Amino acid sequence: TTNFIIITERVPFAEVGGKWLRRPPRPFEIEGPYDKCKDFQLRDSEKEYYVLLMQMTGRLAGVHKSGRFGNEDAVSANLTKPPAGPENPMAYGFNPVGSSGEAVESYKRKLDVGVKFFGETASVVFPPYATEQSFQDKFTRTLLTWNAYSGEIEYFKVSSADYVALGHNNLNVDNAYFWRD
């Protein structure tokens, strides 16, 4: 085995290297590539791109749920799946006598670092309410509660097959191709 790959094709992006076209893209010319979290690079309204991402993810889920994506055994063998079915909630880390998430002390230290970051260190780039003690307390309580029940939350998210479908868990613009026709 090796750690090499052979590149046999490339996506013909219209705007490689951050060089913008001085004209509107032609039909079916692929925009970008766009970087993650740099929506200012988008040619048009951010809403247009993110609505399209949601619509296409919904379409992907629909194709999967209708059986048109392929044999379910092949899909399951090649993609990440839940650790167990709904009949085995303990596989999701349930803890009847404590937190099903990280150790509370460890998790709280991480939250403290985050709160200091958005409340002090980088407060100028966050909304003013992020510096208020009441917001910081509520944020910390909310995430400590989420951590305490994280196993149960994971179980609930997949406990009904009706609500589980193929998708992409990161809908940033760097994970898609955009063109106009």
pLDDT tens string 14-30: 887 656 777 778 899 99
Whether residues 38 and 101 share a domain: the answer is no
Q: DSSP labels for 17-84?
A: GG---SSPPPTTPBP-PPPTT-GGGSSS-HHHHHHHHHHHHHHHHHHHHTT-S--HHHHHHHS---SS
The tokens describing 25, both together, are 């893209």
Residue 178 maps to a domain: yes
Whether residues 62 and 24 share a domain: the answer is yes
The tokens describing 134, both together, are 């009441």
pLDDT number for residue 19: 67
In the chain, how many domains are there?
Answer: 2
Domain that holds residue 49: 8-82+165-181
Whether residues 105 and 148 share a domain: the answer is yes
The tokens describing 178, both together, are 């955009």
Instruction: Give residue-wise pLDDT tens across range 83-118.
Output: 888 889 889 988 888 899 999 999 999 999 999 999
d(CA 132, CA 144): 18
Percent of the chain having pLDDT more than 90?
Answer: 46
Residue 122 maps to a domain: yes
**pLDDT at residue 1 greater than cutoff 60:** no
pLDDT number for residue 2: 65
Whether residues 159 and 169 share a domain: the answer is no
Q: Which amino acid would we find at residue 144?
A: L
Q: What is the mean pLDDT of residues 44-72?
A: 92
Torsions phi, psi for 108 (to 5 deg): -65, -40
Q: Which of 1-5, 16-20, 140-144 is the most confident on average?
A: 140-144
pLDDT number for residue 95: 87
Confidence of residue 171 (pLDDT cuts 50, 70, 90): confident
d(CA 87, CA 90): 9
pLDDT number for residue 24: 77
d(CA 144, CA 98): 12
Question: Alpha carbon 156 to chain centroid distance?
Answer: 18
Residue 140 maps to a domain: yes
Q: Which of 16-30, 53-67, 130-144 is the most confident on average?
A: 130-144
